[in-house]
Amino acid sequence: MNTIIAFIFMFGLLVFIHELGHLIFAKRAGMLAREFAIGFGPKIFSYRKDETLYTVRLLPIGGYVRVAGEDPEIVELKAGHHVGLEFNQQDEVDKIIVNNKDKHPNAQVVEVEKVDLDHDLTIDCYELNSEEKKKFQVNRKALFVMDEKETMIAPYDRQFSSKTAAQKGIQVFAGPMMNFLLAIFIFIGLGFMQGVPVDEAIIGGINDGSPADEAELMEGDEVVSIDNEAVDDWIGLVTYVQERPDEPLELTIDRDGELINTTLTPEAVTEQGETIGRLGVMRMFEDDPSKVFIHGFTQTYDITVLIINAVGQLVTGQLSLDALAGPVGIYSATDDVVQTGIYNFFMWTAMLSINLGIVNLLPLPALDGGRLIFIGLEAIRGKPLDPQKEGVVHLIGFALLMLLMIIVTWNDIERLFM
């Protein structure tokens, strides 16, 4: 149960933060954000506030912010259509009722001649059984009612396509950016809770009964050399010891300015099928606020580099698709991480947030990176690409991504039962 709760919390947080970035910058640019969704598929929860519908959907494979103008939203009204019109106190049309007009007794039914809901916001029409032509002004926030479902119209200046390439680019990039910011925030928070690891090979704690305990090492001791080889940092110490299980090592310790020589043998332990050496010591942490903030950025940068390198290895064939994990694989890994404690869980969440940001920036159709490519081409050409052709490319890309997701998920399931 703990794993289920942790996974739902983690997935919801990562997707929420990502989509929140898209939503905030869509609204800042004046775009009409119709829906803010966590998940895909059927709705299991919905809540409307102002212009935006907030939903939670069944399939936990991502989320989206649906901005006006990015997909078909309302039925195109053509000459000859009969629609019902309701008016506000300024005699502007504030509801356009396409069907079920009998459920709206206050609506004036007219025959459409011409409608412009993008620029002029007008309806040219005739009253039924009359040759008298009328022209009505449509309110900027009028509702289009189809099957009793209300959808706000979107004047052109509120559509995604009306914005500059810079505004579009920022709105698309904001999602991955928020994932990186979340990771930085988590690392800073962990730094304040448990401190920042010291680079030097200084012992922060000793396990009872371990080789270090038997050799009477103490908290605060700094290992300056092993087997007469200088130790530059903690990573160097750990690496040297892990490569020499059951081998006697000569350590030179700096204890309050006094150099002490001692010999001890790392205990041989098995991790992930590999035998390594372990002294039974823990790393020193410090709580300097300035270093905590710096650590948040450097840790995010280091993990970003590692993930980018891994993506490069996938592209060049050095890693196979088996190295990828879908929701099932991530859930399984989360189960292992949860058992090790809350700190490691939040570390795992930060790493997945960085991973989500990087994956979304890949230049593939349907991902934010693919959309940024099209926006860049628009900026170079000085005019937008054909929306229909771009839509087809993104649709094909989305289908291929779903196929990849199915393959990866199948591999995850196979690994669970191996």
Predicted confidence (pLDDT) per residue in 67-83, tens digit? 998 766 777 888 989 99
What does the pLDDT average to over 130-155? Answer: 90
User: 145: closest CA among 88, 86, 89, 91?
Assistant: 86
**Does the pLDDT value for residue 141 go beyond 70?**
yes
**Does the pLDDT value for residue 131 go beyond 60?**
yes
The residue count of the chain comes to: 418
pLDDT digits (tens, 9 = 90+) for 316-371: 777 666 666 666 677 777 888 888 888 889 999 999 999 999 989 988 888 899 89
Angle at CA 265, nearest 5°, toward 259 and 270? 130
Give Cβ neighbours of residue 19 (< 8 Å, ≥ 6 apart). 36, 37, 38, 63, 64, 65, 175
Domains of the chain listed by start with CATH number: 1-31+159-196+287-418 (no CATH), 82-153 (no CATH), 199-283 (2.30.42.10)
Compute the 3-state secondary structure of the chain and give helix, strand, coil in percent, each to the nearest 5.
45, 30, 25
CA distances to 186, 250, 361, 364, 373 from 380, rounded to whole Å, are 38, 64, 20, 19, 11
**Does the pLDDT value for residue 169 go beyond 90?**
yes
pLDDT digits (tens, 9 = 90+) for 357-398: 998 998 888 889 989 998 998 888 887 777 777 777 777 777
Long-range contacts of 90-93 (CB under 8 A, 24+ apart): 90/139, 91/136, 91/137, 92/136, 92/137, 92/138, 92/139, 92/142, 93/123, 93/136, 93/137, 93/138, 93/139, 93/142
CA distances to 32, 136, 265, 330, 355 from 6, rounded to whole Å, are 33, 54, 39, 12, 18
Q: pLDDT: is 84 or 7 the higher one?
A: 84
At residue 74, the pLDDT reads 75
What does the pLDDT average to over 240-252? Answer: 92
Decide: 413 and 330 in contact? Cβ < 8 Å. Answer: no
Place 150 in a pLDDT band, splitting at 50, 70 and 90. Answer: confident
CA distances to 109, 131, 246 from 106, rounded to whole Å, are 9, 22, 89
At residue 23, the pLDDT reads 96
Place 407 in a pLDDT band, splitting at 50, 70 and 90. Answer: low
Which amino acids are annotated catalytic? 19
**Does the pLDDT value for residue 233 go beyond 70?**
yes
At residue 397, the pLDDT reads 72
At residue 174, the pLDDT reads 97
Decide: 347 and 190 in contact? Cβ < 8 Å. Answer: yes
**Does the pLDDT value for residue 412 go beyond 60?**
no
Question: What is the C-alpha separation between 60 and 56, in angstroms, rounded?
Answer: 9
At residue 56, the pLDDT reads 93
Q: pLDDT: is 149 or 25 the higher one?
A: 25
Question: What is the C-alpha separation between 195 and 285, in angstroms, rounded?
Answer: 5
Query: What phi, psi does 220 have (nearest 5°)?
Result: 100, -15
Decide: 263 and 226 in contact? Cβ < 8 Å. Answer: no
Which range of 22-31, 254-263, 280-289, 301-310 scores highest in mean pLDDT? It is 22-31
Q: HSE of 38 in the Cβ direction (CA atoms, 13 Å)? A: 19
pTM across the whole model: 0.81
At residue 33, the pLDDT reads 94
Structure tokens at 32: 């009409």
Give Cβ neighbours of residue 389 (< 8 Å, ≥ 6 apart). none
Mean pLDDT rounded to a whole number for the chain = 87
User: 38: closest CA among 175, 146, 177?
Assistant: 175
**Does the pLDDT value for residue 411 go beyond 70?**
no
